[in-house]
Amino acid sequence: MNQNNNSDERNPSHFEEGGGLAAQEMPEHSDLNWEEYREAIRGMRFFDPHIHMTSRTTDDYQAMFDAGIVALIEPAFWLGQPRTGLSSFKDYYSSLVNWERFRSSQFGIKHYCTIGLNSREANNEPLAEQVMEILPLFLYKEGVVGVGEIGFDDQTAAEEKYYRAQLELAKQAKLPVQVHTPHRDKKNGTERSMAIALEHGLDPAWVIIDHNNEETVESVLDQGFYAGFTIYPFTKMGNERMVKVVERYGPERIMVNSAADWGISDPLALPKTAALMKMRGIPDDVIKKVTYQNAIEAFGQSGQIDESVFANGLAIDQSQKMNGNTILRGGQQPRIAKDSLLIK
Ligand SMILES: [Zn+2]
């Protein structure tokens, strides 16, 4: 895999520049097997505060549910190619609060989302202006737990303008903010994101700075922000590094996410990281904080998260319908037996 080209198509959300990371990120113990170690986390529950389910399959939903993921947050981001008009944004935001939420519920996972104009598309100013007009129509909807993911990509003037404008929207709506930090010049971009949020008078405890690494975490925590860590193969954090971060900084205000999307990513990053933490002797209460509780605490400030809804699992009825549609196609039976050879 080589994502280190200079193509405009590179995903600014979750791919990173700079060669050679892939080799460093290879696990030391390549014999570790998820199927063997998932036993270590049996009974644990997880909350993934950053995952793009629109890009994922029903198999992913089933595997996530089976691994203990009970709730998630899907931030609005970009499609991998530029949208050509406002209605494309509208339909996307609408799908996050409607169909995707319903689809998730059909697999027993509570779905929340954050709504925002992503940094990459902030650079199309005529369109960005129109998007700003419709954001309030979605920000006040049920189950929207923040403004996100917003922030910097290339750190342009337009990105800054719409980041600032959306911080103001977050203040008005009394919603937490989910900040995407840039891959290029990350340290500087992260500092700038925090300084601007403070300048707008946001309480750092309401701002989740995402995609941290060893270089940024200390400053983020010291300034009172939440620190999100994305476990994403080859490009961001590996989970062995994540274990070390938690050993060093403890669990307060740290949360782990997968940021799984349409790139090569892993929707089980959270349970896998929890299993690794367990194996490495990290106590259960610490694991729970960074893979479940802290995310609920941070995004729960929106007033939109009721833990009792998912704490003991959602009731699943895959024959339910939304606007007359079900996830079952023509006579399908609910939930397939994944380990069966026969496909009936
Ligand atoms: Zn994302």
Burial 122-147 (b: 16+ CB within 10 A, else e): bbbeebbebbbebbeebbeeebbbbb
Output the CA 257–ligand 1 centroid distance in Å.
10
Output the CA 50–ligand 1 centroid distance in Å.
6
* Helical pair 157-173 and 125-139, crossing angle rounded to 10 deg: 10
Question: What are the residues whose beta carbon lies below 5 Å from ligand 1 (ion)?
Answer: 13, 77, 259
Q: How far apart are CA 175 and CA 126, in angstroms?
A: 26
Dihedral sign for Cα atoms in the order 61, 64, 68, 73: negative
The yes-or-no verdict on residue 107 having pLDDT over 80 is yes
Q: How sure is the predictor about 30, in pLDDT bands with cuts at 50, 70 and 90?
A: low
In eight-state DSSP terms, residue 291 is: I
Output the CA 56–ligand 1 centroid distance in Å.
13
The yes-or-no verdict on residue 225 having pLDDT over 70 is yes
Output the CA 120–ligand 1 centroid distance in Å.
12
| Apex 143 CA angle, 138 and 149, nearest 5 | 65
For residues 139-158, give the mean pLDDT.
97
Output the CA 325–ligand 1 centroid distance in Å.
28
- Cα dist from 172 to 55, 146, 166, 299, whole Å: 30, 12, 10, 16
The yes-or-no verdict on residue 263 having pLDDT over 50 is yes
> What integer pLDDT is reported at residue 16 of this predicted model?
45
Output the CA 49–ligand 1 centroid distance in Å.
10
Output the CA 14–ligand 1 centroid distance in Å.
7
> What integer pLDDT is reported at residue 6 of this predicted model?
40
Output the CA 295–ligand 1 centroid distance in Å.
15
Contact of 204 with 198, CB cutoff 8 Å: yes
Contact of 297 with 307, CB cutoff 8 Å: no
| Apex 225 CA angle, 219 and 226, nearest 5 | 110
Q: How far apart are CA 338 and CA 344, in angstroms?
A: 11
Output the CA 248–ligand 1 centroid distance in Å.
26
> What integer pLDDT is reported at residue 340 of this predicted model?
64
The yes-or-no verdict on residue 290 having pLDDT over 80 is yes
Residue whose C-alpha is closest to residue 109's, from 313, 276, 267, 274 = 313
> What integer pLDDT is reported at residue 215 of this predicted model?
95
> What integer pLDDT is reported at residue 26 of this predicted model?
43
> What integer pLDDT is reported at residue 18 of this predicted model?
38
Output the CA 339–ligand 1 centroid distance in Å.
31
103 Cβ neighbours under 8 A, 6+ residues apart = 53, 58, 61, 111, 327
> What integer pLDDT is reported at residue 58 of this predicted model?
95
Residue whose C-alpha is closest to residue 144's, from 179, 173, 181, 109 = 173
Output the CA 343–ligand 1 centroid distance in Å.
34
The yes-or-no verdict on residue 111 having pLDDT over 80 is yes
The first and second tokens of residue 164, run together, are 């600032």
- Give the chain's count of helices (H) and strands (E): 13, 8
> What integer pLDDT is reported at residue 20 of this predicted model?
35
The first and second tokens of residue 97, run together, are 């609060």
Output the CA 303–ligand 1 centroid distance in Å.
22
> What integer pLDDT is reported at residue 11 of this predicted model?
45
Output the CA 16–ligand 1 centroid distance in Å.
13
Output the CA 77–ligand 1 centroid distance in Å.
6
Identity of the residue numbered 27: P
pTM > 0.85: yes or no: yes
For residues 158-186, give the mean pLDDT.
97
pLDDT tens digit sequence for 52-66 = 999 999 999 999 999
> What integer pLDDT is reported at residue 341 of this predicted model?
61
Output the CA 321–ligand 1 centroid distance in Å.
28
All structural domains of the chain: 39-306 (3.20.20.140)
> What integer pLDDT is reported at residue 234 of this predicted model?
75
Output the CA 261–ligand 1 centroid distance in Å.
7
Q: How sure is the predictor about 235, in pLDDT bands with cuts at 50, 70 and 90?
A: confident
**Lowest-pLDDT range of 19-28, 41-50, 133-142, 204-213:** 19-28
The yes-or-no verdict on residue 142 having pLDDT over 50 is yes
Output the CA 267–ligand 1 centroid distance in Å.
12
Q: In what order do the strands lie in the sheet with 69-75?
A: 46-48, 69-75, 110-115, 144-151, 177-180, 207-209, 226-230, 254-257
Identity of the residue numbered 107: F
For residues 174-178, give the mean pLDDT.
98
For residues 92-120, give the mean pLDDT.
97
Percentage of the residues of the chain whose pLDDT score is greater than 90: 77
Output the CA 81–ligand 1 centroid distance in Å.
14
Average pLDDT in the chain: 89
